[in-house]
Amino acid sequence: MATSDPNKLISKADKLTRLSLTRWNADWKSATILYEQAANGFRVAKDYEKAKIAFEKASKGQEILSSPWDAAKHMESAAALAKDLRQWKEVEDFYRRASELYMECGRPQPASDALAKGARALEDTMSEEAVQLYTDACTILEEDGREQMAFDLYRAATNVYVKLEKYTDAASLMLRFGLAADKSNATNSQSKAYLSAIIIYLYAHDFKQAEQCYNDCSQVDAFLRSDQNRCASKLLGAYTDGDVEEIKRITQSSTISHLDHVIIKLARKLPTGDVSALKAGNAEDEEQPLDENDLT
């Protein structure tokens, strides 16, 4: 009767893959079956460290046997166990490897999904790596012409950047989201993304960048004709006038209420700085006489 002791199974499998004077060829087919049995046995016994190692070995076996799909599945199992063990660097490494194996199969959707799983697992502990995983997952989908499948990943990555207070990066990601939405003919999502970027710049008290972003995005006809454009125009106008009450009123509008939750929270905290300085600066610009001799 075959043993069900996972320790004995993995020991036997190791011997089958080890070359010696009496074994000139590794028997990866038999060994991989034993590694899979051992992995499941360890997992049932809640010995997650040994289960993780067994899944790694099973993944290697399936890769050697030219079965990257099964290899990817086992690597994802190892990644999930690494997450339970709070071994965060391995979580990143294993999900990345799983993604690569799925791409070897020509399966971009599960390849992207694997990276997204890793990103979600790392959001609180390795935030920078999580954002990179999210953006890499988006890239895989975009290169496959599936931009619409990346929308939630862009939102998730932006949320992480906002938590890190990296507002310029968050705004840039929203603009990239807008471009992906444009390619998907998702004009409403595109306009929301552009308005979100403008709000992020305003929250960071970078009025010039917010204004530049508005002008650039308004070159896109879909945004120019949107409710989001009108909202952004009013918001920037209120900043120019130094009208705090009007800014607060606009941030309570239904247009902003339909944005993502993290953007709504930022908007409701506007203005974050002294907008009276903007009004004073604009007044000075208007009062300066034109120098006819200055052609610059």
Mean pLDDT for the stretch of residues 234-254 = 96
Q: Give the Cα separation of 283 and 204 in Å (integer).
A: 23
Is residue 296 over pLDDT 60? no
The per-residue pLDDT for 291 is 53
Using only the alpha carbons of the chain, give its radius of gyration.
Answer: 27
Residue in this structure with the two tokens 């004073």, named with its chain if needed: 280
The per-residue pLDDT for 185 is 95
Q: What are 82's two structure tokens?
A: 């690494």
Cβ-contact 156, 178 below 8 angstroms: no
Is residue 268 over pLDDT 60? yes
Question: How many Å separate Cα 221 from the centre of its chain?
Answer: 28
Kindly state the percentage of the chain with pLDDT values over 90.
88
Mean pLDDT for the stretch of residues 180-199 = 97
Q: Give the Cα separation of 155 and 168 in Å (integer).
A: 15
The per-residue pLDDT for 19 is 78
81-128, pLDDT tens digit by residue? 999 999 999 999 999 999 999 999 999 999 999 999 999 999 999 999
* Dihedral sign, Cα of residue 238, residue 240, residue 241, residue 242: positive
- Enumerate the H helices of the chain as residue ranges: 6-17, 28-44, 48-64, 68-84, 88-104, 108-122, 127-143, 151-163, 167-183, 187-203, 207-217, 221-224, 227-241, 244-251, 254-257, 261-267, 276-287
Average pLDDT, the chain: 93
50-80, pLDDT tens digit by residue? 999 999 999 999 999 999 999 999 999 999 9
The per-residue pLDDT for 3 is 60
Is residue 23 over pLDDT 90? no
| Among the listed residues 200, 205, 206, the one whose alpha carbon sits nearest the alpha carbon of residue 272 | 205
Mean pLDDT for the stretch of residues 184-190 = 97
Is residue 199 over pLDDT 80? yes
Kindly state the percentage of the chain with pLDDT values over 70.
92
Is residue 1 over pLDDT 50? no
The per-residue pLDDT for 286 is 53
Single-letter amino acid, residue 198: I
The per-residue pLDDT for 160 is 97
Say what angle helices 127-143 and 88-104 make with each other, to 10 degrees: 10
Higher pLDDT, 281 or 135: 135
Cβ-contact 11, 53 below 8 angstroms: no
- Give this prediction's pTM: 0.89
The per-residue pLDDT for 283 is 55
Question: How many Å separate Cα 241 from the centre of its chain?
Answer: 37
Cis peptide before 271 (omega within 30 of 0): yes
Is residue 267 over pLDDT 50? yes
Q: Give the Cα separation of 132 and 173 in Å (integer).
A: 11
The per-residue pLDDT for 58 is 98
* Dihedral sign, Cα of residue 154, residue 155, residue 161, residue 164: negative
Mean pLDDT for the stretch of residues 32-52 = 97
Interacting residues of 65 by C-beta distance below 8 A, sequence separation 6+: 28, 29, 32
In which band, very low, low, confident or very high, does the pLDDT at 290 lie, cut at 50, 70 and 90? low
Mean pLDDT for the stretch of residues 31-37 = 97
